[in-house]
Structure 1
Amino acid sequence: MNWKTLLGFGLSGFLIWFTLRGTDPMEVWTHIRGADFLLLAASVAVATIGFFWRALRWKVLLHPIAPDTRLRDRWAAVNIGFMANNLLPARVGEFARAYSFARLDPRVSMSAAFGSLVMERVLDALVLAVFLVGAVMMPSFPEVELGPRFTALLQSAVVLLAGVGFVLVLLLAFPTTVVRIGESLARRFLPETAALRVIEALESFLQALGVARDPVLLTKALAWSFFFWFWHGLSFWIGMEAFGIEAGAVAAFFTEAVVGFGVALPAAPGFFGTFHASAAFALDTVYGAGEIATLAFAYGYHLGGFIPVTLIGLWYANRLGLSLGDVRESEAKVEAAVDAELIDPADRSLDA
């Protein structure tokens, strides 16, 4: 129970209380029981199939390392990773995914697999930022006064989209120069140990940009990313319909983007609290879908999607001979593997 775990549980508990304050939980439960379970099952099925699309996209990201990785290995590792996020604290899913895939395909090291996931997260952030800004610019976006906080949120999304794109262009065009500038700034403004860690992180990130240096692979990865998040947005749309929320497709993609950024915050296993507060903000505060219907969707859709990937991930972990304890320790093992392939702070001085 380190500080990250405590922070995650604390924030989740607060956000669950915050979303349910002033409401009757039994009323929310009654609305969940009154949902169209056929549509809800369809939305969960669409969301679960999305993990298959993730496995297909991962082949493109792994191509510079091993162009012929097996789909069944990628599919197993994806499910193990999301199972870990659902059951274990401190967001160990990405580490578990890299660790399990390296065991399934020994040609790909843990650090290389983890590096491909760094690129995956960058692509996800770019696509979700596009969806967020695009939804706001649509004529159907609600004309409501949401105050300075919402304005700041939109400005942050625009800055994020522009900033990440600009930094990626610099990294791709001038990788050596960027590393040298990073080293210079780190030496000047940070203590030696912290500076070395920053330099290691930058070098590790540059190693993860193998896909981005190939125009064909980058185009494929972007296309897969847009397809995946469009597909996942459909599951939100169908799920909203299951709970009587007829806000439309744009609202579904806006909600998906808000939730996508919201669940990046520290939380208890399974994104409890962060998912629900993000969905409540998008659908109730922005689109006025109604507090009870929104909460019923948030809790019902989230729980429905939680179960399949968790069971599939547990099944694959068992087949691979991994216990939850092994999965929990994957973070330390991946970090050790990454450190081993980068500069060892104990053997290097900044002045060397």
Structure 2
Amino acid sequence: MQNRSILKRVYSALKYFILLAVAGVLLWVSFKGVHWSDFKAGLLSTNFRWIALSMLVSIFVFWLRALRWRLIMLPLGFKIKRRDAWDGVNIGYITNFAVPRAGEFARCGVITKKTGLPFETVAGTVVLERSVDLLSLALVTLAVIILEWKKFGNFINREIVASFDNKFSANMAWVAGALVISFVVFLYIIFRFRERHPIFRRITDIAKGVISGVMSGFRMPQKWLFLIYTATIWFCYWLMSYTTILAFPAVEGLTAVDALFLTVIGGFGWVIPVQGGIGAYHFIISLALASIYGIAQTTGVVFATISHESQALTMLLCGAISLITFSLSKKR
């Protein structure tokens, strides 16, 4: 048992440092060849009033995400305060800067401790919410491609689709199929022998809890309000991107549609499982600006840095405040 605990800690540490190394490599690739005098000049030319507005919009997004998540959890039958959902969202963000994707577990833990809801049930609501986020990202991506196929479609086809095709051969289809079959067999074994082994029984209970959380979303009151929250969140994402364009004179020729494209591409940067999107966001944004608009690498990196660091700072500040208030509320 002790050896298993040691192996688990070693695995967690290795995963952390590997992902941190990936973030470091992406940062190095992004900043390689940057002219630091131009980088400094770009930062100094920024109108930080627009950045401050972008950060305020970001805080509003956190609040909307908390309200939307709470709406999903309401059918579970527990009284969930808006402040607890807000703290959960913020603590999740700050946790992701330490361990990628761990923020989802952290915010579930916040709600579990504040309400007594089973952890796996809360996790099910997060699964549903994140599924909606991915679907929304796919729909907005499709809208952007339709709006400006010549400009954006070629970039996505060349830099993302072609890259995927080059790295994954036809054999990967067989590997994927084998993994799916193995997963189905694994589920069958657990279900078939769930009464004979405590571990299988526990896995079954967890799965039921997650499914219960997911299904709660279909019983939520005011589904139209959920859609309004989601649409407003994406509007705010676009507004954050557009205000960053307005803040940086070197890219002032970019339009509102370009801001939507950068919102989508930046979304993919945040999805990549590295600490707080560090490196991944800088790389994909600077690549898009250079490939589509012919913007110099240094200028693109400055824009990506301003955009990412303003959002990261907002997440860290809100996360730190929520951590403090959550800790104080536990002591009471």
- TM-score computed with the length of structure 2 as normaliser: 0.76
User: Partner residue of 2:319?
Assistant: 313
**TM-fit CA distance, 1:267:** 1.4
Whether 2:253 is the aligned partner of 1:243: answer no
Whether 2:17 is the aligned partner of 1:6: answer yes
Deviation string for 1:189-212 (max 9, x for gaps)? xxx99xx79978865653332245
User: Partner residue of 1:274?
Assistant: 280
The structure where helix makes up a greater share of residues is 2
In terms of mean alpha carbon deviation, does 306-315 or 120-129 score higher? Answer: 306-315
Describe the shift of the 1:285–1:205 C-alpha distance in structure 2 as closer, same or farther (beyond 3 A). Answer: farther
Describe the shift of the 1:153–1:252 C-alpha distance in structure 2 as closer, same or farther (beyond 3 A). Answer: farther
Alpha-carbon separation, structure 2, partners of 1:228 and 1:152: 31
Deviation string for 1:27-86 (max 9, x for gaps)? 222201210111111112111221011111112211221464211111122111112123
Alpha-carbon separation, structure 1, partners of 2:46 and 2:65: 29
Cα root mean square deviation, aligned: 3.3
Alpha-carbon separation, structure 1, partners of 2:184 and 2:280: 36
Whether the 8 Å CA contact 1:4–1:266 is kept in 2: the answer is no
Alpha-carbon separation, structure 1, partners of 2:101 and 2:77: 26
Deviation string for 1:208-241 (max 9, x for gaps)? 3224534865554333222212212211111122
Whether 2:136 is the aligned partner of 1:127: answer yes
Whether the 8 Å CA contact 2:152–2:261 is kept in 1: the answer is no
Other structure's SS at 2:271 match: coil
Whether the 8 Å CA contact 1:79–1:313 is kept in 2: the answer is yes
Alpha-carbon separation, structure 2, partners of 1:297 and 1:228: 22
Deviation string for 1:294-329 (max 9, x for gaps)? 21121112112222331222222123228xxxxxxx
User: Partner residue of 2:66?
Assistant: 55
1:256 corresponds to which letter in structure 2? T
User: Partner residue of 1:45?
Assistant: 56
Describe the shift of the 1:222–1:203 C-alpha distance in structure 2 as closer, same or farther (beyond 3 A). Answer: farther
Describe the shift of the 1:57–1:233 C-alpha distance in structure 2 as closer, same or farther (beyond 3 A). Answer: same
Identity %: 23
Query: What is the 5 A alignment of 1:97-112?
Result: 97-106=107-116, 108-112=117-121
2:260 corresponds to which letter in structure 1? F
Whether the 8 Å CA contact 2:290–2:297 is kept in 1: the answer is yes
Alpha-carbon separation, structure 2, partners of 1:201 and 1:67: 19
Gaps of 5+ in 2: 1-11, 166-181
1:124 corresponds to which letter in structure 2? D
1:241 corresponds to which letter in structure 2? L
Query: What is the 5 A alignment of 1:68-217?
Result: 68-86=79-97, 88-106=98-116, 108-139=117-148, 142=151, 146=155, 148-152=158-162, 183=184, 186-187=187-188, 203=208, 205-214=210-219
Whether 2:312 is the aligned partner of 1:302: answer no
Deviation string for 1:157-205 (max 9, x for gaps)? xxxxxxxxxxxxxxxxxxxxxxxx97458559xxx99xx7997886565
Whether the 8 Å CA contact 1:7–1:267 is kept in 2: the answer is no
**TM-fit CA distance, 1:140:** 7.4
Whether the 8 Å CA contact 1:52–1:75 is kept in 2: the answer is yes
Gaps of 5+ in 1: 156-180, 323-352
Q: Which residue of 57, 65, 70 corresponds with 2:76?
A: 65
Whether 2:268 is the aligned partner of 1:254: answer no
Whether the 8 Å CA contact 1:28–1:292 is kept in 2: the answer is yes
Whether the 8 Å CA contact 1:31–1:293 is kept in 2: the answer is yes
2:60 corresponds to which letter in structure 1? I
**TM-fit CA distance, 1:250:** 1.9
Whether the 8 Å CA contact 1:247–1:289 is kept in 2: the answer is no
Whether the 8 Å CA contact 1:243–1:293 is kept in 2: the answer is no
- TM-score computed with the length of structure 1 as normaliser: 0.72
How many pairs were matched up? 291
Other structure's SS at 2:214 match: coil
Describe the shift of the 1:131–1:21 C-alpha distance in structure 2 as closer, same or farther (beyond 3 A). Answer: same
Whether the 8 Å CA contact 2:108–2:123 is kept in 1: the answer is yes
